[in-house]
Amino acid sequence: MTDETDEADAAAIARALSSPLRLRILRFCAFDSRTNKELAELLDMNPGTMLHHVRTLVDTGLLVAEDARAGARGAREVPYRATGKSWRGPRLPNQSIVLLETMRQQLEAVDPEDVDATWLGLRLNAEHLAELEQRLYGLLQEFKERGPDDDGDPYSLVTVLHPDFNPRA
């Protein structure tokens, strides 16, 4: 592979990950394979529109098609599963905005009483900031590598670490 190909692949992945809808598709396919029809129903979308987004994710290697199966009426259905490549994908300049919008869209369907949000202000030097980032990433990576619990319930976890424009007194 050439550097040019790598750059083109990275750009295609970045474009694919710039859509909250496509991030939601990846989330739905993280643990269970889902067909285009199932995804369209979950996200209340037209199956044709959904197919465009699924193909974009497949073309970039973010989703992979599994073996076709017969649907309820005998029609051929192709289930898709997320590859985990988005976890290692290129970082976008607007990634935090896309992730927050994706989270906002997903929270629309959740009872506010079931949301536990925490916001903590910190004042850290560069060394302690680097330690916090490393430990948070390590903890997230540890749980990701464990894989899903067979008897587990689905949860989403979002952490946001950003400079806080809170000047010193």
- Looking at the domain assignment, is residue 165 inside a domain? no
Asked if pLDDT for residue 148 goes beyond 60, the answer is yes
| Dihedral (Cα; 88, 59, 104, 119), 10-degree rounding | 0
φ, ψ of residue 34 in degrees (nearest 5): -135, 145
- Looking at the domain assignment, is residue 75 inside a domain? yes
- Looking at the domain assignment, is residue 107 inside a domain? yes
Confidence tier at 89 by pLDDT (50, 70, 90) = low
Asked if pLDDT for residue 87 goes beyond 90, the answer is no
Kindly report the CATH number assigned to the domain that includes residue 92.
1.10.10.10
Q: How many domains does the chain have?
A: 1
**pLDDT per residue over 52-85, tens digit each?**
999 999 999 999 999 998 877 888 999 999 998 8
Q: Give the domain range for residue 117.
A: 3-146
**pLDDT per residue over 13-46, tens digit each?**
988 999 999 999 999 999 899 999 999 999 999 9
pLDDT given at position 118: 85
**pLDDT per residue over 90-143, tens digit each?**
677 788 889 889 989 988 888 889 888 888 888 999 999 999 999 999 999 999
- Looking at the domain assignment, is residue 169 inside a domain? no
| Tokens representing residue 158 in the block | 């979002």
Question: Is the pTM of the predicted complex or chain greater than 0.85?
Answer: no
- Looking at the domain assignment, is residue 167 inside a domain? no
Which residues lie closer than 8 Å to 99 by C-beta, 6 or more apart?
23, 158
Question: What mean pLDDT comes out for the span 145-165?
Answer: 84
- For residues 96 and 168, the model is more confident at 96
| Tokens representing residue 112 in the block | 């506010």
pLDDT given at position 47: 92
Alpha-carbon gap, residue 11 to 92, rounded angstroms: 10
